[in-house]
Chain A
């Protein structure tokens, strides 16, 4: 490949004869048609149905918001805390309480409650749609196989691409934001539910059939109860995925924290960062609360006696009575619907939050980062240039300027060697698609960035992952950090790097590395932890040192997990491509962003398709030979991850 590169450099760009150049304008026409239909005098029945759904989603979000306001802010805190305390234990209750307090102190109460209402509505609808589909898919392999590519597409195609059609169909406001979120949050709900139902052992199902149970009875009395843990995991993951769309929802009238992030970026970066932190706090609180509830209410663990059950019921009643009492008292005393900006006593007025103080801290941090004379800048600027000169640019040049058939053949060959025949064919088809839709150059540019980012993420991720597996203390310390990296909007943590590494493409790469390492670390840690103790003991008996055990036994045996980490890392990196476009990475991300912002809609869609094709191609190149014949659905990106998550706790460290 290298030889070809030097011989034929730049001579064979993707041929125009193999390009469908009219595609973007065709897609533009489709959008115009949609707009015309939407504004026509007599909208057809299809739009009436959509309007109905829109009205319902709008109503749901507004109702939830009104409910929180009706509770008053005191009541909302009490209801959330006591509810979680009752079903999830005091620790989870305290976390929820701390989250509410921090929203209030940050002066972002109203925005947080708006986001909470939006997310609650989106999660409820995602589950209402996703769980039944998941149950059906869990009982029907063919159906699952059929919908898997669709689910992959829903997760990989950047939301920017379908924002405008959604706005045309559902207008702006809560409904549009909810629907946008649904597209991203339904796939995990479907997948985890399906996995849960599938994993119920055949023996249990056969036993129930032997006792003459009907299929419906088998489902409700055997399969669903046994899949309970998995279903609660589905709830947890749906929440996490939904939260990652908060910022995008802000662009189409979703209000709340997402709004503060996007607009803050232009006029007040410190405020944008603060709102990002609020999103992280909300994500962590919801994650811990749902996890705790899932564990505490697990009947298999509780083993309640009749007596205990009666008591539990009384405690529950007492909790709800307590909540009701707090709400009524708060309302009677005239507590505000939303947390006030200041408290008034008869003599003086107090600021009710410390937003200005916190913003001052963040701003001084930003000022330091923005100062080109600072020590850190002296280190990061050359580092950024180094990454650009030695990795990004050479790889881009090789991928873009090699003759197209060499790049295509080379990547296919790598897929064949690493993963086998079928993945190689898929990779070939996907890469060819990128060329045909006219996205070869930007596609390969993006590919070079994705590969560099993945390589960096894998190196760092494996090193830290191994360390965390060896030391539970490190793992414990890492957990909040990893949670933050996964839930902080990428648009937020890319900010410091724009200043610290002022070279286009590099901040985007760093942002994707940061987004991808948590998954890799978790998979590597879980993989090494699951190495059978017998193997380790045997090596130790032969006098192997700790490093030897690690290098010769643990890491080789955890190879599959590590490979999965690489594979998942790529998918996570791809999720940041569009954000990269907003901070100078150019290529596909830039085109997608432009598609929405300058209304080159067709171009944006085509670039998004290229991202999808690239994602599938790179997934196949790196998936390794882990696919076994009877493991059919274990193909799509994310699926393997979710499967692993039975060992890796949702949003957290290994069990």
Chain B
């Protein structure tokens, strides 16, 4: 027994620590909550917004945070949960709102239509546009790259060590909606689709080539703060025929022909937890009315990601500069 004395000391200390922690919790919680309630507005209380991993989402989340805190006196918590798990988080009421969802239709079917635990919050106003992009200098030198037909026969220009004797097409973040492999096949272009990985890695790849003024063709989209930093031009893909059932989200092994058109405009949605929508909180009314343009979002995103401004400040600055817009959102 004696040999164990010090282990016991450790165990006792841990037990003590835990029991103290428990007491601390009991004591702290009500007073903390009370303080928050006293300083908060009438019945806004606490709102949990989820920030997605990219800078645009940081921008709109912190704009909303500034308005909720300064105008409505809410207490705002920002979580950073990955795109798909956040649906379950909303279903469980752990997250109140996601302001920038890029059409996760599978999840809509499960959580909104079937279970009804998540509700649509309408469009944010920002419109997503996906396409094939090249640096502006390349477009200036080769005006025929205006449309995809101009690329035909010129694939060699885009050769890199890893694309072998084909041209390199730098694919998008694997988690994004895309159909480039299939498009390349359907359009009969001699490109090798190279995956660069997650967005930061893809950005690293094309910005590197951009700085070297080398040719590069890649999957890209707007709104994106880097569009303010780099001069890019878009290669037009075959137009989307009215009423055609051309698809954008390619699954492994499908017929390439069904994807042979430009990407459709993505309406970016706000989503709310059902519990939050039913709570009658003024925060819900405000978030429901909130609207941003692509320019607004890119501006704030660039301040945060490009100029490394603190997100809180960047959000508040935008709110101060756009009082009229914000006034329309308020209940």
Residues on A with beta carbons closer than 8 Å to the beta carbon of B196 = 504, 583-584
**Which of B5, B58, B110, B211 is within 8 Å of A267, CB to CB?**
B58
B197 beta carbon closer than 8 Å to chain A: yes
Q: Would you call A63 and B22 a contact (CB within 8 A)?
A: yes
Q: Would you call A372 and B212 a contact (CB within 8 A)?
A: yes
Given A172-B94, A504-B162, A599-B107, also A266-B53 (CB < 8 A): yes
Q: Would you call A263 and B53 a contact (CB within 8 A)?
A: yes
**Residue ID in chain A nearest B18 by CB atoms:** A63
Given A171-B94, A297-B7, A597-B175, also A66-B25 (CB < 8 A): yes
Residues on B with beta carbons closer than 8 Å to the beta carbon of A265 = 53, 198, 200
Q: Would you call A251 and B82 a contact (CB within 8 A)?
A: yes
Chain B 100-120 per-residue mask, 1 if CB under 8 angstroms from chain A, else 0: 000010110010000101000
**Residue ID in chain B nearest A494 by CB atoms:** B201
Residues on B with beta carbons closer than 8 Å to the beta carbon of A269 = 200
Q: How far is the CB of B232 from chain A (nearest CB, A)?
A: 18
A35 beta carbon closer than 8 Å to chain B: yes
Q: How far is the CB of A287 from chain B (nearest CB, A)?
A: 17
A279 beta carbon closer than 8 Å to chain B: no
**Which of B13, B18, B107 is within 8 Å of A83, CB to CB?**
B13
A259 beta carbon closer than 8 Å to chain B: yes
A230-265 residues with Cβ-Cβ distance < 8 A to B are 250-253, 255, 259, 262-263, 265
Report the separation of the CA atoms of residues A586 and B205 in the bound assembly, to the nearest whole angstrom. Answer: 15
Q: Would you call A172 and B205 a contact (CB within 8 A)?
A: no
Q: Would you call B25 and A582 a contact (CB within 8 A)?
A: no
Q: How far is the CB of B322 from chain A (nearest CB, A)?
A: 22
Q: Would you call B54 and A582 a contact (CB within 8 A)?
A: no
Q: How far is the CB of B38 from chain A (nearest CB, A)?
A: 19
B320 beta carbon closer than 8 Å to chain A: no
**Which of B79, B91, B197 is within 8 Å of A39, CB to CB?**
B91
B331 beta carbon closer than 8 Å to chain A: no
B157 beta carbon closer than 8 Å to chain A: no
B174 beta carbon closer than 8 Å to chain A: yes
A502 beta carbon closer than 8 Å to chain B: yes
Q: How far is the CB of A584 from chain B (nearest CB, A)?
A: 4
Q: Would you call A582 and B197 a contact (CB within 8 A)?
A: yes
Q: Would you call B110 and A32 a contact (CB within 8 A)?
A: yes
A633 beta carbon closer than 8 Å to chain B: no
Chain A 577-621 per-residue mask, 1 if CB under 8 angstroms from chain B, else 0: 000011111100010011011110001000000000000000000
Identify which of B17, B79, B162, B195 gathers the most chain A CB atoms within 10 Å of its CB. B162
A647 beta carbon closer than 8 Å to chain B: no
Report the separation of the CA atoms of residues A265 and B195 in the bound assembly, to the nearest whole angstrom. Answer: 18
Identify which of A164, A268, A389, A498 gathers the most chain B CB atoms within 10 Å of its CB. A498
Q: Would you call A66 and B80 a contact (CB within 8 A)?
A: no
Q: Would you call A39 and B5 a contact (CB within 8 A)?
A: no
Q: Would you call B85 and A163 a contact (CB within 8 A)?
A: yes
User: Chain B: interface residue count, which band?
Assistant: 35 or more
**Residue ID in chain B nearest A117 by CB atoms:** B21
Report the separation of the CA atoms of residues A69 and B25 in the bound assembly, to the nearest whole angstrom. Answer: 10
B55 beta carbon closer than 8 Å to chain A: yes
Q: How far is the CB of A591 from chain B (nearest CB, A)?
A: 9
Residues on B with beta carbons closer than 8 Å to the beta carbon of A266 = 53-55, 199-200, 305
Q: Would you call A39 and B94 a contact (CB within 8 A)?
A: no
Report the separation of the CA atoms of residues A504 and B53 in the bound assembly, to the nearest whole angstrom. Answer: 22
A67-107 residues with Cβ-Cβ distance < 8 A to B are 67, 69-70, 83, 87
Chain A 221-233 per-residue mask, 1 if CB under 8 angstroms from chain B, else 0: 0000100000000
Q: How far is the CB of A72 from chain B (nearest CB, A)?
A: 11
A505 beta carbon closer than 8 Å to chain B: yes
Q: Would you call B82 and A597 a contact (CB within 8 A)?
A: yes
A309 beta carbon closer than 8 Å to chain B: yes
A385 beta carbon closer than 8 Å to chain B: yes
Identify which of B160, B174, B202 gathers the most chain A CB atoms within 10 Å of its CB. B174
**Which of B5, B53, B197 is within 8 Å of A309, CB to CB?**
B5
Residues on B with beta carbons closer than 8 Å to the beta carbon of A584 = 194-197, 201-202, 205
Given A62-B25, A171-B89, A268-B308, also A590-B80 (CB < 8 A): no
Q: How far is the CB of A149 from chain B (nearest CB, A)?
A: 28
Chain A 139-175 per-residue mask, 1 if CB under 8 angstroms from chain B, else 0: 0000000000000000000000001100110011100
Q: Would you call A297 and B82 a contact (CB within 8 A)?
A: no
Given A267-B58, A584-B201, A585-B197, also A597-B174 (CB < 8 A): yes
B84 beta carbon closer than 8 Å to chain A: yes
Residues on A with beta carbons closer than 8 Å to the beta carbon of B107 = 599
Q: Would you call B200 and A499 a contact (CB within 8 A)?
A: no
Given A62-B25, A268-B308, also A262-B81 (CB < 8 A): no
Report the separation of the CA atoms of residues A403 and B289 in the bound assembly, to the nearest whole angstrom. Answer: 60
Given A582-B197, A593-B175, A598-B174, also A253-B208 (CB < 8 A): no
Residues on A with beta carbons closer than 8 Å to the beta carbon of B211 = 370-372
Report the separation of the CA atoms of residues A495 and B205 in the bound assembly, to the nearest whole angstrom. Answer: 12
A316 beta carbon closer than 8 Å to chain B: yes
Q: Would you call A172 and B85 a contact (CB within 8 A)?
A: yes
Chain A 39-65 per-residue mask, 1 if CB under 8 angstroms from chain B, else 0: 100000000000000000000001110
Given A252-B81, A253-B94, A372-B211, also A582-B88 (CB < 8 A): no
A299 beta carbon closer than 8 Å to chain B: yes
Report the separation of the CA atoms of residues A251 and B196 in the bound assembly, to the nearest whole angstrom. Answer: 21
Q: Would you call A70 and B92 a contact (CB within 8 A)?
A: no
A382-396 residues with Cβ-Cβ distance < 8 A to B are 385, 388-389, 393
B153 beta carbon closer than 8 Å to chain A: no
Report the separation of the CA atoms of residues A36 and B195 in the bound assembly, to the nearest whole angstrom. Answer: 35
Residues on A with beta carbons closer than 8 Å to the beta carbon of B86 = 172
Report the separation of the CA atoms of residues A135 and B66 in the bound assembly, to the nearest whole angstrom. Answer: 54
A213-227 residues with Cβ-Cβ distance < 8 A to B are 225
Residues on B with beta carbons closer than 8 Å to the beta carbon of A172 = 79, 81, 85-86, 88-89, 92, 94-95
Residues on A with beta carbons closer than 8 Å to the beta carbon of B25 = 62-63, 66-67
Chain B 276-290 per-residue mask, 1 if CB under 8 angstroms from chain A, else 0: 000000000000000
**Which of A69, A320, A498, A598 is within 8 Å of B175, CB to CB?**
A598
Report the separation of the CA atoms of residues A173 and B18 in the bound assembly, to the nearest whole angstrom. Answer: 20
B67-88 residues with Cβ-Cβ distance < 8 A to A are 79-86, 88
Residues on B with beta carbons closer than 8 Å to the beta carbon of A504 = 162, 194-197
**Which of A66, A262, A388, A389 is within 8 Å of B28, CB to CB?**
A66
Report the separation of the CA atoms of residues A495 and B197 in the bound assembly, to the nearest whole angstrom. Answer: 12
Residues on B with beta carbons closer than 8 Å to the beta carbon of A359 = 308
Report the separation of the CA atoms of residues A252 and B53 in the bound assembly, to the nearest whole angstrom. Answer: 12
Report the separation of the CA atoms of residues A544 and B48 in the bound assembly, to the nearest whole angstrom. Answer: 72
Given A266-B53, A581-B197, A598-B174, also A67-B304 (CB < 8 A): no
20 further A-B contacts with Cβ under 8 Å, apart from A172-B81, A172-B86, A172-B95, are: A39-B117, A63-B22, A66-B28, A167-B88, A252-B82, A255-B79, A262-B53, A263-B51, A266-B53, A266-B199, A266-B200, A297-B7, A495-B200, A503-B160, A504-B197, A582-B197, A582-B198, A593-B174, A597-B83, A599-B104
21 A-B contact pairs sorted by A residue (CB < 8 Å):
A64-B18, A64-B21, A67-B25, A164-B84, A172-B79, A251-B82, A262-B80, A309-B5, A372-B212, A388-B161, A393-B162, A495-B200, A503-B161, A504-B195, A583-B197, A584-B196, A585-B197, A597-B82, A598-B175, A599-B104, A599-B107
Interface residues in chain B, defined as those with a beta carbon under 8 Å from any beta carbon in chain A: 2-7, 9-10, 13-14, 17-18, 20-22, 24-25, 28-29, 51, 53-55, 58, 79-86, 88-89, 91-92, 94-95, 104, 106-107, 110, 115, 117, 160-162, 174-175, 194-202, 204-205, 207-209, 211-212, 252, 304-305, 308
Interface residues in chain A, defined as those with a beta carbon under 8 Å from any beta carbon in chain B: 32, 35-36, 39, 62-64, 66-67, 69-70, 83, 87, 124, 163-164, 167-168, 171-173, 225, 250-253, 255, 259, 262-263, 265-269, 293, 297, 299, 309, 312-313, 316, 320, 359, 370-372, 385, 388-389, 393, 495, 498-499, 502-505, 507, 581-586, 590, 593-594, 596-599, 603
